[in-house]
Structure formats: structure tokens, C-alpha cells
Amino acid sequence: MGSSRGEFMISKRIACIGAGYVGGPTMAVIAMKCPQYKVNVVDVSEARIKAWQTDNLPIFEPGLLDVVRAARGRNLFFSTEISAAIRESEVIFVSVNTPTKTFGEGAGKAADLQYWEKVAREILRESGSSKIVVEKSTLPVKTAQTMENILNANGKKVHFEVISNPEFLAEGTAVKDLLEPDRVLIGSRETPQGFAARQEIVDIYANWVPKDRILTSNVWSAELSKLVANAFLAQRISSINSISALCEKTDASVQEVARAVGMDSRIGSRFLNASVGFGGSCFKKDILNLVYICESYGLQEAARYWESVLAMNEFQETRFVRTIIREMFNTIVGKRIALFGFAFKADTSDTRESPSIYVARKLLEERAFVAVTDPKALDNARIDLAGYKENLDFVEDPYEAAKGAHAVAIMTEWAMYRSLDWENIYRSMEKPAFLFDGRNVLNHEQLYNLGFNVYPLGRPPLKHF
Ligand code: UDX
Ligand code: UDX
């Protein structure tokens, strides 16, 4: 298909509406792997699109800049021209955000589908020919039906087929997850037109994903599988976190328990790291959504079961703050506490639903002085804590953040925290110096020997008094 000059005939035009954490990286990988397609990524946010056009991308994701640079200007384009992108494309991915509804019926649980519906109507208005519309956003099961009803209620004689193709990438490993996915899931209606559309999407991924990893299903199964995958992952973390609380009371070590349990091949070893709590834009939102769906079908017991996964996560965050206050002699008024990490996990600048937000707020309410440090997420941290003006500092350098502090709390498992000069940090702190490891990433015995009072998660503390 390619000519000797490295140029390609365009065989498919793809648009993606929503240039966020999901849309941006996914389309960049499709464009890099498929030079024969033209990929237009569009968004209402001019600032976001401008950033995608520079080397200062709007999101930090290891390896992403190389992927973007390989295709940008060749067959990957970023713009705010949503109408034009819709008109010229045969396949339209939609990855606008679907936050938890904050108003009216289902507030606090149901997904807010207003952006999705707005986009569907825009697609309908601009389309002069039949198109495949791909749900990339995570949506409640049965949304495809609603979308088809809206899209196909037209007098235009154009037909829309709605496909569910949920994205399973995790932030921080997005590029790797996209290049070598465990599986790609593509759901369609089981009609001749549905099967044909399904095949078109299979063909896109088959450019680089082995066939046996491309799963197809009916459209409802695909929509529901995304919610269920996230619920199961979150449930594992809540399960191990509940055990971390018990370990602290019983001299057991949660890491040893996790290793012993995880070596059972039926259980598996991943996603068993106890933590201060899970964050990220998906887990809470998707579980709330699952709870709402169960409730709306009258399945109260199923709803309560999944709700408990969230309750355990809140318990873990609350417990972390309570331990800090209790161990620091029941008062933290005026004490400097350095939060190491604000991102919801390592290798991302994203702070959505980060446990750090909750912990920082609680500490500030207790009138501590909070110094926040993070290698990538300080800009977002400033936005998250914008309501707090006093007793708060944002510091690039972790050594500066810890200087004069009574305590350091590890909130994000950034690799750099392991290799800091902890002796130096200890010397610069107020005494007694406390260290609360909310991610169990440091060498606790070594820190104890340096003089710290160390509070790992899911293990009894190492205290000098
Ligand atoms: C995605 C999914 O779409 C969401 O459903 C899933 O659960 C998590 O991942 P994400 O990419 O993380 O969301 O969201 P975000 O980074 O907020 O990106 C969404 C983009 O859509 C934003 O850049 C926003 O400007 C854009 N948008 C939103 C539009 O272009 N049009 C709209 O009408 C609304
Ligand atoms: C998640 C899913 O993994 C991904 O498949 C889906 O597409 C989007 O939601 P993400 O939220 O980006 O991805 O990150 P993930 O690695 O799942 O971590 C979520 C949270 O769980 C983070 O706060 C992380 O620190 C925490 N976590 C993870 C733990 O506390 N312990 C673990 O063992 C694993």
C-alpha cells in the first residue's frame, strides 16, 4: 500500500471526539501503527488541542511523546474542528468524559451522559453518509441502544451502527497497554449490519494486535465488561486493604500474606498491594455506576455488595489520617507534614480521586501545615486544593518539602522516593521524626535504624518509644 516515498494511500478516515487520557493515547497508537489511516483527534478544549500539537503534551504518559511524534502531521491530526472531522470520517470514536451525575435523579451514582448525547446529536447533524460510532468512553450497559435510537431517528437515509469498544489502558502504562493489550473487546449488535461494523473495528486493531486477543461479543456484554473489570480490580484492592487493617492488629505482615495468597494460581499475584486507597478517574465512578444499575433493576443485594468496595476504600483513607493524628500525640496543629506524592499512582500527572486529596484536606482541617511534593502532579494538586489558602505549600524538591517537617507521608509510589538520601532527610526534620508509608515502598527497617518512627501499612509500626 505504501509508495517508495513512504507515503500511504488513505484507506480509512477515523475521527475521535475527546482528546483526553483515553482518546489521545489510543488514537496516537492507532495512527502510529496504521499509516494507511487518517486519524483526526478533536476536542472542544482549545487549550488541550494546542498542547497536543506541541511537545508539551497535555498529559504525562511514559513513551507517549515518541508515539505522537511518529505520526503527528503524517496521519495524526489534532484540532477543534469537530464538524469537519465528523463529516469526513467513516469511523467515529467517542471518548468524551462520562462523570458521575451531580444533580437530579441518580445524583452521586449514575453516569452523566449529557456530553455523550450532545456528541451523538452533533454526529447526526453533521453526517451526510453512514458511519460507525464507537463507544470508547465507559458507559452504562444499554447506552448503545439509546444512542442508536437518537442517531437513527433521522430522515436522512444515513445509518449509524454503534459499537462498544471499551478501553482497558491504565494510566502510567497507557502506551504499553495499547501496544500489547491483554485483550481488545469489540461488541456489536448481532445483525448483518452489526457484524459488518464489528469486523471494520476488528480490522483496525488487527494491524498490530494478535487475532486471539481480539474478543468480540454482543454490545451489552462489552459495555458491562468494562464496568465489571474495573469493579473486580478495585475489589481486590479493597480486599487486601481490609486485611492490612487486621495485620496491623495481629503482627502479621500484609505483604507476606499477599505473597502467600497471590501464589495460588487461581488468585494471581497482581493488584494485591495494600495502599492508602485506590484513586483514579474510573474505579469509584464505575462502581457507583454499577451500583446504580443494579438498584435500578431491583437488585439491592448486588448493589450493596459492590458499594462495600467503596466503603472499604474510604475506611482505608480515614484510617491512614487517624493513625497520623493518634501517633503524633493526638494533635497535629501547626506541625509540618510533607506529603510525598499527589498523583493517584506513579508515572502520571493525574490526580483525579487521588487519596492524597482526601488526606491533605483532613490534615489541613486538623490545622497541620501541609507541604505537597510530586514530580509531575503539582499543577493538578494546586487546582485540587485551590480552596485552601493557608498552611499549605507546594514544593518541587522532596528534600525541601521535608525540611523542618514532623512527618513524611508517602502517598504515591514514585520510584524516586526509594532512592532519596533518607539520612539527609531525617537530619533536616523535627524530632521525633515520623514516617507513614501509605504505599509500602520504602525499606522500613533501614529507616527505623536511621531514627525514624516508621508506620508501614499492614504491619506493626517500628517505634523508638
Ligand atoms: C475517559 C472516558 O471517556 C471515560 O468514560 C472513562 O471512564 C475514563 O476515561 P478521559 O479520557 O480520562 O475519559 O477523560 P478526559 O481526560 O476528561 O477527556 C475527555 C475529553 O473530552 C476532554 O478533553 C474534553 O474537553 C472533551 N470533551 C468533553 C469534548 O470534546 N466534548 C464534550 O462535549 C465534552
Ligand atoms: C484502571 C484500570 O486498571 C484500567 O484497566 C481501566 O481502563 C481504567 O482504570 P487506572 O485507574 O489508570 O486504570 O490505574 P490502576 O493501575 O488500575 O490503579 C488504580 C488505583 O489503584 C491507583 O490509585 C493505584 O495506586 C491503586 N492500586 C493499584 C492499589 O492501591 N493497589 C494495587 O495493588 C494496584
Q: Atom 6 of ligand 2 has which residue's CA nearest to it?
A: 168
Average of per-residue pLDDT values in the chain: 95
Please give the average per-residue pLDDT across 246-255, as a whole number. Answer: 96
pLDDT of residue 153: 85
Grouping H, G, I as helix, E, B as strand and the rest as coil, residue 452 is: coil
- Comparing CA positions, the residue from 362, 461, 463 lying closest to residue 411 is 362
At residue 389, the pLDDT reads 87
- Please indicate whether residue 49, judged by its CB atom, sits closer than 6 Å to ligand 1: no
How many other CB atoms are there within 10 angstroms of residue 313's CB atom?
26
Q: Could you tell me how far CA 379 lies from the centroid of its own chain?
A: 17
Average pLDDT over residues 233-256: 97
In the prediction, which pLDDT does 141 show? 85
With bands split at pLDDT 50, 70 and 90, how would you rate the model's confidence at 155? confident
Q: Look at 37-51, 112-126, 201-215 and tell me which has the smallest mean pLDDT.
A: 112-126
pLDDT in the model for residue 217:
97
- Quick count: other Cβ atoms within 10 Å of Cβ 20? 21
Report pLDDT digits (tens) over 56-78. 999 999 999 999 999 999 999 99
pLDDT digits (tens, 9 = 90+) for 5-32: 456 689 999 999 999 999 999 999 999 9
Radius of gyration of the chain from Cα atoms? 24
Measured in residues, the chain has a length of: 465
Q: Measured between alpha carbons, how far is 437 from 461 in angstroms, rounded to an integer?
A: 10
Q: Across residues 374-399, what is the average pLDDT?
A: 97
- The set of cell numbers assigned to 315 is 475506611
Phi/psi at 8 (5° precision): -125, 145
Q: Is residue 276 lining ligand 2, measured as CB closer than 6 Å?
A: no
Pocket test for ligand 2, best of 255, 275, 417 (most atoms within 8 A of CB): 275
The closest alpha carbon to 67, from 31, 101, 41, belongs to: 31
Ligand nearest to the Cα of 278, by number: 2
Instruction: Give the pLDDT score at 4.
Output: 42
pLDDT tens for each residue of 170-226: 999 999 999 999 999 999 999 999 999 999 999 999 999 999 999 999 999 999 999
Q: Tell me how far apart the alpha carbons of residues 51 and 70 are, in angstroms, rounded to a whole number.
A: 16
Q: Which atom of ligand 1 is nearest to the CA of 119?
A: 33
For range 140-144, the mean pLDDT? 87
Average pLDDT over residues 149-177: 93
pLDDT-derived band at 142 (thresholds 50, 70, 90) equals confident
- How much distance in Å is there from the Cα of 280 to the middle of ligand 2? 7
Helix, strand, coil fractions of the chain, as percent rounded to 5: 45, 15, 40
Q: Catalytic: 294?
A: no
| Residue 73 burial (C-beta neighbours within 10 Å; 0-12, 13-18, 19+) | exposed
Q: Is the CB of 169 under 6 A from ligand 2?
A: yes
Tens of pLDDT, residues 261-286: 999 999 999 999 999 999 999 999 99
Rounded Cα gap, residues 387 and 132, in angstroms: 43
Residue located nearest, by CA, to atom 14 of ligand 2: 170
Q: Assess whether the C-beta atom of 22 lies below 6 angstroms from ligand 1.
A: yes
Residue ranges of alpha helices (H) inside 343-429 are: 355-365, 378-384, 398-402, 422-428
Selecting among 16, 34, 282, 294, the annotated active-site residue is 282
Q: What is the pLDDT of residues 330-352, one digit of tens each?
A: 999 999 999 999 999 999 999 99
22 CA from centroid of ligand 1 (Å):
7
| CB-ligand 2 contact for 279 (6 Å cutoff) | yes
Q: How confident is the model at residue 140 (pLDDT cuts 50, 70, 90)?
A: confident
CA 416 to chain centre: 21
Q: What's the gap in Å between 316 CA and the centre of ligand 1?
A: 29
Q: Is 235 in the pocket of ligand 1 (CB under 6 A)?
A: no
Q: Which of 445, 452, 448, 446 is nearest to 426 (CA)?
A: 452
Check residue 6 and give its pLDDT. Answer: 52
pTM, 2 dp:
0.94
Mutate which of 41, 79, 97 for ligand 1? The one with the most ligand atoms within 8 Å of its CB, which is 97
pLDDT value at residue 2: 42
CB 225 within 8 A of CB 185: yes
Ligand 1 touching residue 138 (CB < 6 A): yes
Q: Which ligand is nearest to the CA of 341?
A: 2
Look up residue 277 and give its DSSP letter: -
State whether the beta carbon of 17 lies less than 6 angstroms from ligand 1: yes
Phi then psi for residue 462, to 5 deg, are -110, 100
Q: What is the pLDDT of residue 7?
A: 63
Pinpoint the alpha helices (H) of 53-113: 64-71, 82-88
Q: Helix crossing, 114-126 with 143-152: angle to 10°?
A: 30
Confidence (pLDDT) at 146: 87
Question: Which amino acid type is present at position 320?
Answer: F
Beta strands 407-410 and 336-340, pairing class: parallel
Closest ligand 2 atom number to CA of residue 273: 33
Give the nearest ligand 1 atom to 45 CA: 25
Per-residue confidence (pLDDT) for residue 290, from 0 to 100: 96
| Single-letter amino acid code for the residue at 338 | A
Can you read off the three cell numbers belonging to residue 199? Answer: 469486523
194 C-alpha to ligand 1 centroid (Å)? 26
The pLDDT of residue 1 is 43
Q: Which ligand is nearest to the CA of 353?
A: 2
Q: Give one word for 73, left, alpha or beta, with left for phi > 0 and alpha for psi -120 to 50.
A: left
Which residue is associated with the grid cell 526534620? 429
User: Mean per-residue pLDDT for 228-257?
Assistant: 97
- With a cut of 90, say whether residue 359 has pLDDT above it: yes
Distance between CA atoms of residues 274 and 374, nearest Å: 21
Dihedral pair phi/psi, residue 39, rounded to 5°: -115, 115
Q: Which ligand is nearest to the CA of 283?
A: 2
Per-residue confidence at 294, pLDDT binned at 50, 70, 90?
A: very high
